[in-house]
């Protein structure tokens, strides 16, 4: 449950976009939005940012994979 809550807060876009005004306080998702323009999108920088932003989530999933799989399969066993 903690992993899912972390994932939801990590990927939140609308609330930080509305609330945070300073450049130093931007979250990763709002910062990645800066690579898009009305005329062009900088795909190389944007996809590199996606990879960097996904590394903490992949790392947390690898650490907690045993508990995540255990929670999914606990309701699937007939007994």
The rounded average pLDDT for each run of 10 residues, N- to C-terminus, in the chain (79 residues) is 81 88 85 86 90 90 86 75
User: What is the reported pLDDT for 68?
Assistant: 80
CA atoms of 60 and 47, how far apart (whole Å): 21
Residue 79 placed within a domain: no
Show the tokens assigned to 55: 């590394």
Place of tokens 């995540």: 68
Residue 28 placed within a domain: yes
Contact criterion met (CB below 8 Å) for 46 and 37: no
Residue 66 placed within a domain: yes
Q: Which domain holds residue 30?
A: 2-74
Whole-structure pTM value: 0.67
């Amino acid at each position: 449950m903690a992993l899912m809550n972390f994932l939801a807060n990590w990927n939140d876009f609308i609330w930080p976009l509305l609330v945070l005004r300073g450049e130093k306080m931007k979250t990763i998702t709002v910062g990645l939005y800066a690579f898009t323009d009305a005329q062009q999108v900088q795909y190389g920088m944007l996809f590199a940012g996606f990879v960097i932003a996904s590394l903490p989530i992949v790392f947390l999933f690898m650490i907690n994979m045993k508990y995540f799989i255990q929670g999914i399969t606990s309701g699937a066993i007939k007994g």
